[in-house]
Amino acid sequence: MIRIMPRYLLALLLLLTAMQFVKAAPAASPSCSPLLSHTFPRLQDEAPQNLCQYQGKVILAVNTASFCGFTSQYEGLEKLYAKYKDRGLVVLGFPSNDFGQQEPGSNKEIADFCKNTYDVKFPMFAKSSVSGSNPNPLFKMLIAKTGTTPKWNFYKYLIDRNGNVVDAFSSMTKPTSSSITNQIEKLLGEKI
């Protein structure tokens, strides 16, 4: 028995030494819904942003424009975001020049306008198309799932924590309207 013991100790020592060089496998991340499995450039610097980072949050996705009669809705969107972000809401802005050519500027010009005019802090993405024959991949899926295409700037889609589209709201519906806030409150109270 005395002769066998050193072999076990040697094997254990070798095993412990080898384990120092083995990295633990990364923890499995929660699965991302197909709706959020897209990457878009951030408005401010065009750094790629994967929407999966918002999985588990209630999302209000909005197509925006700087020179529209509804542009003042930035103020309501920012108020909504500030009020509910700590409870799990995120507003995602997608500038688009699809309607009335009301977003003609560059990404830098749009970012400066949003910051300087409305102090927008919610995530904004680079200008893209949200309607017509070639909408960006998120809006293409939003349109398919709701059967409704944005009719103008500041069209809104509400998405639950599981990445399912819950509702769509016209440009006429203000972000702080009870029809939107009541649904947000309900969705924020639901478990994933």
Is the pLDDT at 26 greater than 50? The verdict is no
CATH of the domain at 80: 3.40.30.10
Which residue pairs from 34-38 have beta carbons closer than 8 angstroms and sit at least 24 positions apart in sequence? 34/141, 34/163, 35/138, 35/141, 35/142, 35/145, 35/159, 35/163, 35/164, 35/165, 36/138, 36/163, 38/136, 38/137, 38/138
Domain count, the chain: 1
Q: Is 68 a catalytic residue?
A: yes
Residue 60 lies in a domain: yes
> Of residues 32, 52, 68, 114, which has the active-site annotation?
68
The pTM for the full model equals: 0.83
Q: In the numeric block, which tokens belong to residue 114?
A: 């949003």
Residue 11 lies in a domain: no
> What range defines the domain where residue 57 resides?
37-189
132 located within any domain:
yes
Whether 20 is covered by a domain: the verdict is no
Q: Is residue 94 part of a domain?
A: yes
The answer to the question of residue 28 being in a domain is no
Give the pLDDT confidence of 155-170 residue by residue, as tens digits. Answer: 999 999 999 999 999 9
